[in-house]
Amino acid sequence: MSRHSSGKKEFKKTKKSSSGARTPKPTVFILGFLLIVVGIFGVLYNPSNSIEKTLPWEVSEAGTLSFSPREEPIFMVQEIEDQYSPEDPDILKLVSFESSGENIQALLRIPVNASSSPGIVLLPGAGVNKEGEQRLAGELSKMGYATLTLDQRNKGGVNVNRDLELFRAGLEPVEYLMVYDTLKATDVLSIQPEIDPERLAVLGESNGGRFAIIACALEPSLKGVIGISTSGYGTEEIDPASVTDPEAYRFYRSIDPDTYLSALPPSRLVLIHSFNDTVIPHEMALRTFDLAKEPKAMYNTTEETHGYTVSMRPDIEKELELFLN
């Protein structure tokens, strides 16, 4: 408004153009009218005024995230040379699928001669790309399971403070996008010709395990979730009555896997954790497991490491056989 006012004063002082001709009054009237119309249009259609109507996600007062119904997946598939496990006879495909306006890259590993194979969406830990997770994908293939391994946004890393800022502004936090990517990945995997859509699960390491638990709670078609070296954040222990910032509390609850544990059944929760985990203390995983409802199982190892180790293979094979076969 102030810019329009200064323009009017300037117009009164300069009644002639540089050529000396007066500016016709009808033209001035039309220009002024158009400026007013544009201003009204901007107010009425400012995205900040319609956030509630256009957001594809919602968070309840209790802090539970939900999404609008997903559309049919849009994707491209190309068979490529397997440079990661060339000794294995698997079929490897590069998959690109659309999710929230971005193209997500993934590797689809299919056991040789697979027909109606069970499928697993595989989520690497923070800092690990889809190629770096092919060791575990290869192990799962030997068990008879196809895997779709994602390149997660920001390589699975999170910036909670930045995501909270986005949440306060009515914009979509990156962690919500990563959960949604996982859900879209299940859609893509389910319609591959080699995959049995009735036998799907999700497996994640570390941060990937957190997204895997949330996604499994939001997608009833998944038979179960395996979380390796992962846990919730413990927001369950916060007394809501003591919270001084309800919006921050609601956001933190929405990204905590513990919030979704009651929604997991009948899908099965499996946690595999080392007593000597170097990143996430075993006590945190045990707390998440204790909060979870049946059906559930927890297995422990002793290696001083974080993430998948070969000692976990028998437990993974046992559990996948239980809820996918």
- Say how many domains are in the chain: 2
Looking at the fold, whether 49 and 127 belong to one and the same domain comes out as no
SS3 130: coil
In a domain, 134, yes or no: yes
Looking at the fold, whether 236 and 262 belong to one and the same domain comes out as yes
Residue 47, pLDDT above cutoff 80: no
How many Å apart are CA 155 and CA 55, to the nearest integer? 24
Contact 226, 316 (CB under 8 A): yes
CATH of the domain at 223: 3.40.50.1820
**Closest alpha carbon to 63 in 220, 219, 285, 257:** 257
**Closest alpha carbon to 122 in 112, 110, 137, 111:** 137
For the chain, give the mean pLDDT. Answer: 87
Residue 320, pLDDT above cutoff 60: yes
Looking at the fold, whether 199 and 158 belong to one and the same domain comes out as yes
Residue 7, pLDDT above cutoff 60: no
- Write out the DSSP string of 38-57: HHHHHHHT-GGGSHHHH-SE
Q: Which domain, by its residues, includes 27?
A: 22-54
Contact 110, 194 (CB under 8 A): yes
Looking at the fold, whether 230 and 318 belong to one and the same domain comes out as yes
In a domain, 11, yes or no: no
In a domain, 257, yes or no: yes
SS3 304: coil
Contact 147, 122 (CB under 8 A): yes
Give the pLDDT confidence of 98-120 residue by residue, as tens digits.
Answer: 999 999 999 999 999 888 999 99
Looking at the fold, whether 273 and 297 belong to one and the same domain comes out as yes
Looking at the fold, whether 144 and 260 belong to one and the same domain comes out as yes
Give the percent of the chain with pLDDT over 70: 83
Looking at the fold, whether 191 and 298 belong to one and the same domain comes out as yes
How many Å apart are CA 50 and CA 42, to the nearest integer? 12
Looking at the fold, whether 214 and 243 belong to one and the same domain comes out as yes
Stretch among 18-22, 108-112, 164-168, 179-183 having the lowest mean pLDDT: 18-22
In a domain, 137, yes or no: yes
Predicted TM-score (pTM) of the model is 0.84
In a domain, 2, yes or no: no
pLDDT of residue 54: 64
pLDDT of residue 25: 43
Confidence of residue 86 (pLDDT cuts 50, 70, 90): confident
Looking at the fold, whether 147 and 26 belong to one and the same domain comes out as no
Question: Which residues, 6+ apart, have CB-to-CB distance to 134 below 8 Å?
Answer: 84, 85, 107, 109, 149
pLDDT of residue 140: 97
Length of the chain: 325
In a domain, 4, yes or no: no
Looking at the fold, whether 117 and 208 belong to one and the same domain comes out as yes
In a domain, 275, yes or no: yes
In a domain, 187, yes or no: yes
Residue 17, pLDDT above cutoff 90: no
Looking at the fold, whether 63 and 41 belong to one and the same domain comes out as no
- Write out the DSSP string of 163-180: HHHHHHTT---HHHHHHH
Stretch among 38-52, 109-123, 271-285 having the lowest mean pLDDT: 38-52
Residue 55, pLDDT above cutoff 90: no
Looking at the fold, whether 105 and 250 belong to one and the same domain comes out as yes
pLDDT of residue 115: 85
